[in-house]
Homo-oligomer: A and B are copies of this chain.
């Protein structure tokens, strides 16, 4: 964890931003997999981590926004606990590491929280267990908890967590560098006859060896056209593309989120290369467009036009690219957003409400198919870290539906599309820090040009 003063500074600013009331931040408990005694790996709540750094289950934190006084709630281990899970730092030791003012047993929390009455601030709970615990602590109904989170607290938390400090950037760089090594291993090892799961096993193994976990479910598939595809059961065949979208979490739980797409064979086919170069152009030029003051929605639309233009060159789209993108025709091929904030969460702070994180009064969410999925749209600021991840996909179900509906026939050349039905999908993604002057791609460069990727196959 960072030094106690880091967490003290964050809590102090949070208290001052809120101005009054009692802030309650609940840590996570273990999440039951198939029964309570067999939990998934423990993942602490990201806001709890941000304001305390403490990474054990069963804790909660209050901050009195008037006085700034912070209290850690929890229970020390009994000797029987120690037999099962081993020794841990005492609560007093944990409080000291985090610069917290006081420790109280968990059974005090309810009275302390209820004493705050309606001056209690808590964040929207995203786990059933947290909803139930908040209901118990506050004496409120489940419905009141689900509706009763504090927008003021959300805004104050988003304001801080959106701007990454240097120590956070260092941690994220570590995550990206490990993620990059995972991608290089996968690209090197890929060959005809392997299973997707053979490559996925490299990823999980490399994470485990560093005592970390993947930051999100591994996408590693010859069916890259399915955006969130976690199936790894296919055998790789010559002529296919493989899309790998995976990243490591750092030991302090900052995420890396990297995507590369590569051929099963040593070389891209000409057809693959043509589409790949369009995505790569879109990715590089979108990154270059990132700087403070630019709305990320405009960067998204910029990338969309590059994609539309490239697909026009290939013969799959037609007409004016600006008009095509304004109409949303490109979304047949690029149906998702260009990227999102990243930090302690891979979609940073998504549980706090995507519109609070990625949108603003100036930039409202569109309801157009594709653009509606854009998670980050507002003006960029120095200290933001975000993903840039354009893609081109050939989704048979979507193509069939659009063609049947005669959608955007002015812009889409449906007959030429037939030859691409089994093409799959291509996405390229890096993690980008917004600096005072522009941008910086986090981490060591990860091969992404056609030449760089093909060269990996000759190094054994």
Contact = CB atoms under 8 A, between A and B. Distances in A.
A229 B86 contact: yes
Which of A33, A217, A226, A345 has the largest count of B CB atoms less than 10 A from its CB?
A: A33
A294 interface: no
B126 A128 contact: no
Interface stretch (A199-207, A300-308, A408-416, A441-449): A199-207
A82 B393 CA distance: 13
B31 A347 contact: no
A13 interface: no
B33 A31 contact: yes
B206 A201 contact: yes
A32 B126 contact: yes
Interface in A1-52: 31-41, 43, 45-46
A87 interface: yes
A92 interface: no
Given A36-B351, A208-B205, A216-B38, A397 B82 contact: yes
Interface in A101-151: 126-132, 135, 142
A131 to B, nearest CB: 6
Which of A135, A198, A233 has the largest count of B CB atoms less than 10 A from its CB?
A: A198
Nearest to A372: B80
A32 B127 contact: yes
A34 B128 contact: no
A208 to B, nearest CB: 4
A224 to B, nearest CB: 11
A217 B132 CA distance: 25
A270 interface: no
A346 B39 CA distance: 12
Interface in A381-396: 395
Given A84-B226, A205-B208, A232-B211, A79 B217 contact: no
A202 B86 CA distance: 24
A326 interface: no
Contacts of A82: 226, 395, 397-398
A451 interface: no
A210 interface: yes
A420 interface: no
Nearest to A205: B205
A197 interface: yes
A178 B31 CA distance: 26
Interface in A291-322: none
Contacts of A335: 83
A64 interface: no
Contacts of A232: 208, 211
Contacts of A279: none
Given A35-B350, A84-B227, A345-B34, A209 B217 contact: no
A112 to B, nearest CB: 22
16 contacts: A31-B32, A31-B33, A34-B126, A34-B253, A36-B126, A38-B216, A39-B217, A82-B397, A82-B398, A83-B227, A83-B395, A87-B397, A127-B129, A197-B210, A201-B209, A204-B207
Closest 8 CB pairs of A and B: A128-B128, A205-B205, A35-B351, A86-B226, A201-B208, A128-B129, A201-B209, A201-B205
Interface of A: 31-41, 43, 45-46, 79, 82-87, 126-132, 135, 142, 195, 197-198, 200-211, 216-217, 223, 226-233, 253, 335, 344-347, 350-351, 395, 397-398, 401
Given A34-B253, A127-B128, 13 more contacts: A36-B126, A38-B216, A38-B345, A83-B398, A84-B228, A85-B228, A85-B229, A86-B226, A86-B231, A132-B142, A197-B208, A200-B209, A201-B206
